[in-house]
Structure 1
Amino acid sequence: MKNLKIYLGCLAVAASLFTGCIPQKEYVLLQDKSTEKKYENPYNPLDNITDKYFLQPNDYLFINVSTPDPKISEFFNQNASNSGNMQRNQNFFYYQIDDSMNIDFPYVGLINLDGCNVKMGKAKVQDALKPFLKEYNLTFRLASNTFTALGEFRNQGVQTMQREQITIFEAVAQAGGITPFGKQRKLQLVRQMPEGPVTYEIDLTDKNIINSEYYYIYPNDMLYVRPMKAKQFGIGESFSIGIITTLLALYLTLQTVIN
């Protein structure tokens, strides 16, 4: 009977070591899940990377018209003509898209960019300049490149993007990574589309995300990682339920041996 109690106590210690830990499949990234029973790839293939972002109200655009004649260039960049230091006053080249998806361009007037990505928006400005210019160079790019990270990120908030599209893992790294209590299998991506915001659920532990349409994120995307239930008990990252159960099981084992 005594040996049975010792055996049961040791079994309790071993069990606590396993049950007190977060399963590996919950936090290991890019797992091959094709061997799992009834697994089906939930992601559509990636067709292209660039030109998938569509301009939105309140976006800022960097637009500059350059011609062989500096005076003509100044005429179409009127906001910058009052300064001799172009670099210091480069903010004058920024144009904000209004609620009607228009920008007010010098001399040309309103240019509507509704339903345009960056490439299409540039083409619209070029079309608007055709009646006035024959030889010129147009710089047109998105100036407000940011995404938002919320929930179980170590560095929450608005993050600046260095490119118009970055991978979702670059975004996670830029936000400081996900805490041990973040549900990496259920990351929510909220994306602004022309018809309105759309929410997608992404499993970062599934390697099929690499070749999917959600591998890249775009300006104005929002990432949200929900916390695991363990966080509701107020347990921090450096302290685990496994520690409590292990100590309790060890105490019970020692009591059994002594008795």
Structure 2
Amino acid sequence: MSKNLNLNQTNKHKYLREIFKLLAFIVIFSSCIPQKEIVLLQDKSENKNYENPFAPLDNITDKYYLQPNDYLFINVSTPDPKISEFFNQAQGNSASTQRNQNFFFYQLDDSMNIDFPYVGKINMKGCNVKMGKEKVQEALKPFLKEYSLTFKLASNTFTALGEFRKQGVVVMQKEQVTIFEAVAMAGGITPFGKQRKMKLVRQLPDGPVTYEVDFTDKNIVNSEYYYIYPNDLIYVRPMKAKQLGIGESFSIGIITTALALYLTLQTIIN
């Protein structure tokens, strides 16, 4: 009976050791982040799935089509200051009364109209910035012969969600912002962000479209995703390591602590 008891205790000790080894193995290796998940500009030419249908266009303002609630900077300048002031008056509810360096803010309504002083409503449906400027110029022809027109998109923002250090709406400091600059403006991606499966939601004239972008692939530089458009949404989902409750502070110290605990338990069992 004493032999059977000792045998049962020995088997129990072996069982506990194996359980602890298994738990330690799961904790350590489930928290390891493969290098291919975090290294940028990798050469993935064989898996390249990006196309660039916008290559013939010169800049981002040609690619982006105006949307409802966009704000526009519009200013008319003529040799006569009084005439200039007349056409730069803010009228209606769609024009802001705030003035900034002689530019007025005009908001596009749900029907893609702006209410321009004296001229009336101008529809911007299906227009990019260049085409919108041409529409305003066409509307001013019956009234002015000599003038200069400034026409710019004012609402240059994108949204960063998920595993960014700074989530929220981000103001674009210039018209041409690359996806790398956009990530940097959002504080960068945390170590637990799935950079290889980044989601990019883009508003197109026919409706929103969602793309999956491999942020680690250098071929993104030659793709239609290289530049961020106004109103784009970028989402980075978390890795499983974060879902297991392992934080950014995970390091080799945790591994050594686990080994020390194992050795301590083994000594107590023995």
Cα contact 1:68–1:136 (8 A) shared by 2: yes
Corresponding letter in the other structure for 2:248: E
Match of residue 237 from structure 2:
226
Preserved CA contact (<8 Å) 1:165 1:219: no
- Structure 1 residue 115 corresponds to structure 2 residue 123: no
Task: Tell me the TM-score normalized by structure 1.
Answer: 0.83
- AA paired with 1:233? L
Q: TM-score, normalised by structure 2?
A: 0.79
Q: Which whole-Å CA distance do the structure 1 matches of 2:266 and 2:167 have between them? A: 48
1:173–1:106 Cα change, 3 Å: same
In the aligned structure 2, how far is the partner of 1:203 from the partner of 1:72? 53
Give how far 1:235 is off. 1.5
Partner of 1:3: none
Secondary structure, aligned partner of 2:90: helix
Deviation at 1:75, TM superposition (A): 1.2
Offset, 1:255: 7.7
Q: What secondary structure does 1:139 align onto?
A: strand
2:149 aligned with 1:142: no
Over the aligned positions, Cα root-mean-square deviation in angstroms equals 2.7
> Which whole-Å CA distance do the structure 2 matches of 1:20 and 1:69 have between them?
69
Distance 1:257 1:205 in 2: 46
Aligned to 2:49: 42
Looking at both structures, which has the greater relative contact order when contacts are Cα pairs under 8 Å and sequence separation is at least 6? Answer: 1
Using the TM superposition, give the Cα deviation of residue 230 of structure 1 relative to its aligned residue in structure 2, in angstroms.
1.1
Answer with 1 or 2: which has the greater Rg: 2
Aligned counterpart in structure 1 of residue 166 of structure 2, from 155, 158, 173: 155
Of 52, 66, 69 in structure 2, the residue corresponding to residue 58 of structure 1 is 69
8 A contact 1:181–1:231 mirrored in 2: yes
CA drift at 1:18: 6.7
Moved over 6 A (4+): 12-19, 253-259
Aligned with 2:185 (options 174, 187, 191): 174
Report deviation, 1:254.
8.0
Give the one of 187, 207, 210 matched to 2:221: 210
Q: Which amino acid aligns with 1:207?
A: K
Give the match's secondary structure for 1:63: strand
Map of 2:35 onto structure 1: 24
Find the aligned partners of 1:67 and 1:28 in 2 and give their Cα distance. 54
Deviations 1:101-128 (A, max 9, x none): 0000001000000000000000000000
Gaps of 5+ in 2: 1-21, 92-97
Alpha-carbon separation, structure 2, partners of 1:109 and 1:15: 68
Q: How many residues align?
A: 237
